[in-house]
Amino acid sequence: MFSEWVRDTELSIAIRESILMFPIIEGTHLLGIGASAGAIAISDLRMCGKIFRKEPVSDVFEAVAPYMLIGFIVMTITGFLLMWSEPVRCYESIWFRYKVLFLFLGAANAGFYHNTIYRRRAQWDKDPDPPAQVKFTGWASIFIWAVVIITGRTMAYNF
**Per-residue pLDDT tens digits of the chain, which is 159 residues long:** 898 998 999 999 999 999 999 999 999 999 999 999 999 999 999 999 999 999 999 999 999 999 999 999 999 999 999 999 999 999 999 999 999 999 999 999 999 998 999 899 989 999 999 999 999 999 999 999 999 999 999 987 876
Give the rounded distance of the alpha carbon of 109 from its chain centre.
Answer: 12
Domain range list for the chain? 2-157
Kindly report each contact of residues 105-111 with a partner whose C-beta sits within 8 Å and lies 24 or more positions away, as own/partner. 105/144, 106/141, 106/144, 106/145, 106/148, 109/137, 109/140, 109/141, 109/144, 110/141
Q: Is 138 within 8 Å of 47 (Cβ atoms)? A: yes
- Check residue 32 and give its pLDDT: 97
Kindly report each contact of residues 47-50 with a partner whose C-beta sits within 8 Å and lies 24 or more positions away, as own/partner. 47/130, 47/134, 47/135, 47/137, 47/138, 47/141, 48/130, 48/134, 48/135, 48/138, 48/139, 48/142, 49/127, 49/128, 49/129, 49/130, 49/135
Q: Is 116 within 8 Å of 66 (Cβ atoms)? A: no
Kindly report whether the global pTM for this prediction surpasses the value 0.85. yes
- Check residue 156 and give its pLDDT: 77
- Check residue 157 and give its pLDDT: 80
- Check residue 158 and give its pLDDT: 73
